[in-house]
Structure 1
Amino acid sequence: MRRTATLMLVLMAGVFAASHVAMGAYPAWAPALGYLNAFAEAAMVGGLADWFAVTALFRHPLGLPIPHTAIIPKKKDRIADTMAQFLRANFLTPSVVARRMRRMNVAASAGDFLTKTEDGERSRLMGGGAELLAEVLESLDPERLGMRVRSGLASQLAKVELAPLLGGLLENLIADGRHRPLLDGLIRWAGLTLEDNEEAVREIIRSRANSVLRWTGLDSRISSSVLDGVYRLLAEVLVDPEHPMRGKIDASLIKLAQQLKTDPAMQAKVEAAKNDLLENPALADWWMGVWERMRVSLIARARDPESALGDELRGALREVGSALQGDPRLQAQINRFARRTAVGLTSRYGEQITALVSETVKRWDAGTVTDRIESAVGRDLQFIRINGTLVGGLVGITLHAITHAF
């Protein structure tokens, strides 16, 4: 557009020169050529004037330091402050933000976004979210992250009084009878363990018998009797829900629950055991192994579009989106929260935002500011030059006609 406007100005100069010569060479055509000459002369004046005005906004015309030219580079800081104040006054005021937010249904828009799918039911959000999760897990130092998670869990567990919690849990289990399946499992485990280690138990009994019992062979009979008695007791306790041994075990568990809740000595022992466990290096090594397996598994599942993790997340997002779309009360609550949040952010950080705009523009060099503004409005400014050329020519014809008429 700059070249077009300049070529039009050059054309008018050529027409002016040609018409001036033609009027001397062809006197008969002088009246008609006079109008053309007046048009071209006035068009040159209008085009040059508008070229000067447009150029003076951004730089010195012809490089000459004419006063009140290169306005934008010289007034860069004032422009930055004005832009920031305009943004603050017209966009970042609580009333404007609140009025704008009232016309927006943020919850419904979020629900629509979450329910829209692409690429075979793969949520638009999941496409980038799953990859982002995998990249975050890969970029972070696994050992440092694992130790931070462990430290956080350990610090939280250290604050928890474990003994009363265990006592209440144990009381509830006994009151509802939910400890019985666990007790049955322990009895079965004890029987199987004893069966697997029967020879070791016999050897212990024989080693503790005196030489006379070993010489007479009674040690084997004693060990068999002991094992048979233990097997029989375990079987009877397992099959008889009303066995006295169960009552004794229940009574012992109830007593233990009370001690855990009320006995300071028992509570101190539990806390000491908990602290020893948390400080044990073996626990740290075990946790690091567990954490690394979890991390690798999460990365693989996040990047697998067919994984159960992706299906669960996609299903959860769709459910959230459907709820946001179909529940007007939920929409009203979320929209109110969004509006209050936006207004609060505007009130709290509006000045900082406008200051950021102003300081950013001020840090730009004058050439950058000039280029950015000229690239935004320069095309329209060149139209001013073109229009100025044409309007100047029309004014020239009009004045020429008036002069010859009177």
Structure 2
Amino acid sequence: ARADPDHPMRAEFDRFAQGFVEKLRTSKQYAKRAEKLKRDFLARPEVKGLAGEMWASLSQFIEQDAKAPNSVVRAHLANMFVEVGRHLAGDAQIRADMNQGFVVALASFVESQKAGVSTFIADQVKRWDLAQLTRLIEMNIGRDLQYIRFNGMIIGGLAGVVLYVAERLFLVN
């Protein structure tokens, strides 16, 4: 059967697999039974232990490999990103589709989060200590702040004089 692609056993296996899939698709009882078998299998402590050990081993391997100077994972990731970049650079349609997807996803995210963002900003502003904020601005802006204050005083004074003169000219006549 291994050497002969047309062996009858292969055809029999294909019919069995197709029948099994069809029964899972059409028979609720068959699907329930298969689901119970799956749950019973996954609930076994041996399977849970094996999955935990596999995960621990995989994460330890990735962590150790990432720290190594000749990391296989880093090399594969770098090659993958370079290939993705080449494909993106060469296919304008993919770039346009991705950009459209990003716009839709970002618009949806912003729409769903705008109330939370405004609340977050309002909470942050409420927590500001005005004296500390003034000190921070003075330290970071420095002497320029004195010029800004001086110019504001001069412009404010001139605006007051212009308004006073305009009032006297128009109200007196």
**What TM-score comes out, normalization by structure 1 length?**
0.28
Report the counterpart of residue 158 of structure 2 in structure 1. Answer: none
The one-letter code of the counterpart of 2:116 is Q
Match of 2:73 among 309, 316, 327: 309
1:283 matched to 2:83? The reply is: no
1:377 CA displacement: 5.0
Distance 2:104 2:15 in 1: 54
Change (3 A) 1:344 1:374: farther
Q: Could you report, residue by residue, the CA deviation over 1:197-222 in whole angstroms, capped at 9, with x for unpaired residues?
A: xxxxxxxxxxxxxxxxxxxxxxxxxx
- Equivalent of residue 330 in structure 1, options 94, 111, 116: 94
CA contact (8 A) 1:361 1:369 kept: no
Mark the CA change 1:385 to 1:349 in structure 2 (over 3 Å): closer, same or farther: closer
**What's the CA shift for 1:381?**
3.8
After superposition, the Cα gap between the structure-2 partners of 1:372 and 1:354, relative to the gap in structure 1 and judged at 3 Å, is: farther
AA at the equivalent of 2:63: I
- Number of the residue aligned with 1:371: 135
Q: After TM superposition, give the deviation of residue 361 of structure 1 in Å.
A: 2.1
- Measured on the aligned residues, the alpha-carbon RMSD in Å equals 3.9
> How do residues 350-369 of structure 1 correspond to structure 2 at under 5 angstroms?
350-369=114-133
**2:103 maps to 1:339:** yes
Cα pair distance change 1:280/1:355, threshold 3 Å: closer
Query: Greater CA deviation, 295-304 or 334-343?
Result: 334-343
Q: Aligned with 1:306: secondary structure? A: coil
Q: CA separation of 1:357/1:375 partners in 2, compared to 1, >3 Å: closer, same or farther?
A: farther
Q: Give 2:113's aligned residue.
A: 349
C-alpha contact 1:301 1:307 (8 A) present in aligned 2? yes
* TM alignment of 1:207-222, pairs within 5 A: none
Q: How many residues align?
A: 142
Which is bigger in relative contact order (C-alpha 8 A, separation at least 6)?
A: 1
Q: Which structure has the larger Rg?
A: 1
Superposed CA offset, 1:149-183 (max 9, x none): xxxxxxxxxxxxxxxxxxxxxxxxxxxxxxx21xx
Change (3 A) 1:326 1:275: closer
**Does the C-alpha gap of structure 1 residues 387 and 326 become closer, same or farther in structure 2, counting only changes over 3 Å?**
same
1:34-57: CA deviations, max 9, x gaps? Answer: xxxxxxxxxxxxxxxxxxxxxxxx
Contact 1:304 1:310 in 2 (8 A): no
* Residues 284 and 358 of structure 1: CA distance in aligned 2, closer, same or farther (over 3 Å): closer
Q: Deviations over 1:274-309 (max 9, x none)?
A: 454333322223333323222222222222242332
Alignment of 1:5-404 (within 5 A): 180-181=1-2, 260=20, 271=34, 274-375=38-139, 377=141, 379-383=143-147
Cα distance 1:283–1:325, how it changes in 2: closer, same or farther (>3 A)? same
Q: Which consecutive residues of structure 2, in runs of 5 or more, have no partner in the other structure?
A: 153-173
CA drift at 1:252 = 7.0
**Alpha carbons of 1:305 and 1:322: their partners in 2 closer, same or farther (altered >3 Å)?**
farther
Change (3 A) 1:287 1:350: closer
Per the TM alignment, residue 316 of structure 1 is displaced from its structure 2 partner at its CA by 0.6
SS of 1:310's partner is: helix
1:387 to partner: Cα distance: 7.7
Alpha-carbon spacing, 1:325–1:384, altered in 2? closer, same or farther (3 Å): same
CA distance in structure 1 between the aligned counterparts of 2:14 and 2:116, rounded to whole angstroms: 63
| Letter paired with 1:326 | G
- Once the two structures are aligned, what percentage of the paired residues are identical? 27
